[in-house]
Amino acid sequence: MDRTLTNFIRSLRMAEVRISPAETLDAMHTVELVGYKDRTMLKDSLALVLPKTADEKETFNTCFDEFFSFEDVSGERAENAAQDGEASEDGDPAGDGGEGGGSGGERQPGQPAAGNRKKKSKRKKPNNNLLEEEEEDLGPGEMTQPSSELAKLLMTNSKVELTMAMANAGEAVNVRDIQIFTQKGLYARRIMDEMGLADLNQEISNLRESGPVPARRLGQELKRRRDWLREQVRDYVERQFLLNADVSGKKLREELLRTVKLSNVEHRNFRLIQEIVFKMAKKLITMHSRRKKVFKRGMLNVPRTLRHNMSYDGNIFDLHWKSVKIDRPKVFAICDVSGSVANYARFMLMFLYSLDEVMPKVRSFAFSSDLAEVTELFNRNKIEDAIAKVLRDYSGGSTDYGQALLDFKKQCMDDVDNRTTIIILGDARNNYGETHAEVLKEMYDKSKRVIWLNPESRNSWNTGDSEMRKYGAYSHQVDECNSLMHLERVVGNLLRQVS
């Protein structure tokens, strides 16, 4: 039996598309007739014999696109990258900076980790009592040639070869058999081992203990690329889990989608994620809907009671109680909606506007280059429609955080006061343009709190065109935020800390 077809049918069944044995045989006969060469013909032909309802057809389309689309190690579709001109010939997984034209994904393995390499303090090796002092930054320059197979593959900067190696390793360790989300780390480790992690680690160890500078420089570079590859493998396993694991139980699926990176969530799961967002918001509303104002109850305010009873010659007639009033926050939400972070912006805006009972003063702004206020758009439309329109109208252009900050200063800096919380969602990748960090400093000085949420993993901050070091200096709180669980924690803390 055709293994590719059976794996695809298995993915459909895991996505709750009902397929009988007879329909499986029909699909096999269909593939025998049309083959795999013409992708459109294959999709249209299988769509006639496998899905039956409208919802199943939508799920089928999504599964087919996910299953039969080439996806490089950076998580971008190769066909989209070729169409948009974002895939560079030297193997840059992030291209020119993401679908929005300027907000890049995670850095490519060959890109120097500018600003991210620094001399580290002494630390103990886990297996002995010797102290190891890590090598200082050797900078760019001549490097020796790698010897292990995985090291050679990493140094070629070929995303096609890396993707094929990752896929072959996944097949070798049966990554399609993953059943529960907690197995993600296990399968990621197995794939890395299958790709040659042991030999790579040994080579890195030998190079870093070597005397010549070119050898030690190669050791440093291989270590950075190994850490980058590990992140890509984990994302690959996560996508395979979403495609193949049996998550038919709705509760299990909801728990899964709370923790999965929003960039890895398929479009067919957006409706369920919206339901999860509304449930989370309702929970927070229940916790914070009662304004914490204590009146004529609680602790006695002795000084105030004595002061107001002086006219009665010290006799206590009127009692006064200590009261605490916590006002609702005034929130400014500034969202980068370029391609690489659009999904994060989608669900953060949905989260904030679902909390209208306890957080009614939300002003929202969207940008990829020029900043635009979209508050009225949300007031006039349903949340889902408003978000779709924002992403459609404002996600184009080259990402420019400096220009967005200048626009914010011009439009509403006068409205920022000591009761204002400013939430900025973005990866801080500025295409090497002017940062205008002085504007963020002014926002930092005038507001109560500036919170910067970065959807990238921390090991990607301050690499390439990322300006997180400059922007983070003028933020009260900087967090990695790439899942619904992170968003819930940030918004929950915001509601608890408002005073």
367-389 residue pLDDT tens: 887 888 988 888 888 877 888 88
Contact 470, 118 (CB under 8 A): no
Q: Bigger pLDDT: 132 or 302?
A: 302
Count: domains in the chain = 4
419 and 343 share a domain? yes
Q: Range with the lowest mean pLDDT among 99-113, 255-269, 349-363?
A: 99-113
Extract the tokens encoding 23.
């329909």
Examine the fold and report which residue of 16, 46, 67 is the final residue of a domain before the chain moves on: 67
Question: Which of 72-81, 111-120, 402-411 is modeled with the greatest confidence?
Answer: 402-411
188 and 274 share a domain? no
Q: Bigger pLDDT: 89 or 2?
A: 2
Q: Bigger pLDDT: 90 or 421?
A: 421
In-domain check, residue 483: yes
Extract the tokens encoding 72.
């490089």
In-domain check, residue 143: yes
What's CA 201's distance to the chain center, in Å?
A: 28
* CA nearest neighbour of 137 among 67, 201, 216: 216
Distances (CA, A) of 333 to 8, 52, 353, 424: 41, 42, 11, 6
Q: Range with the lowest mean pLDDT among 232-236, 394-398, 437-441?
A: 394-398
Report the CATH number at residue 282: 3.40.50.410
Q: Range with the lowest mean pLDDT among 203-207, 235-239, 241-245?
A: 241-245
347 and 410 share a domain? yes
pLDDT of residue 297: 55
Burial of 37: CB neighbours in 10 Å, binned 0-12, 13-18, 19+ = exposed
367 and 439 share a domain? yes
pLDDT of residue 105: 40
216 and 284 share a domain? no
* CA nearest neighbour of 99 among 87, 111, 113: 87
* CA nearest neighbour of 362 among 342, 341, 383: 383
In-domain check, residue 442: yes
| CA-angle at 345, arms to 392 and 463, nearest 5° | 110
Question: What letter would DSSP give residue 340?
Answer: G
Summarize the chain as % helix, strand, coil (round to 5).
55, 10, 40
Examine the fold and report which residue of 23, 45, 67 is the final residue of a domain before the chain moves on: 67
Count CB-CB contacts under 10 A for residue 292: 12
pLDDT digits (tens, 9 = 90+) for 418-461: 888 898 988 888 888 899 999 999 999 999 889 898 888 888 88
426 and 342 share a domain? yes
Please, where are the H alpha helices in 309-369?
342-353
215 and 276 share a domain? no
**Rounded Cα–Cα distance for residues 439 and 434 (Å):** 12
What's CA 387's distance to the chain center, in Å?
A: 18
pLDDT digits (tens, 9 = 90+) for 27-67: 889 888 888 888 889 889 999 888 888 878 888 888 888 77
Confidence check: pLDDT of 268 > 50? yes
In-domain check, residue 9: yes
341 and 418 share a domain? yes
Extract the tokens encoding 496.
């608890």
Contact 47, 60 (CB under 8 A): yes
Burial of 379: CB neighbours in 10 Å, binned 0-12, 13-18, 19+ = exposed
365 and 479 share a domain? yes
In-domain check, residue 130: no
199 and 59 share a domain? no
In-domain check, residue 471: yes
Please give the average per-residue pLDDT across 413-419, as a whole number: 88
Examine the fold and report which residue of 67, 89, 104 is the final residue of a domain before the chain moves on: 67
**Rounded Cα–Cα distance for residues 444 and 449 (Å):** 7
404 and 466 share a domain? yes
Please give the average per-residue pLDDT across 211-216, as a whole number: 82
Average pLDDT over the chain reads 75
pLDDT of residue 473: 92
Please give the average per-residue pLDDT across 184-198, as a whole number: 90
387 and 490 share a domain? yes
Determine the residue type at 342.
A
With cut-offs at 50, 70 and 90, classify the pLDDT of residue 327: low
In-domain check, residue 123: no
Domain, as residue range, for 19: 3-67
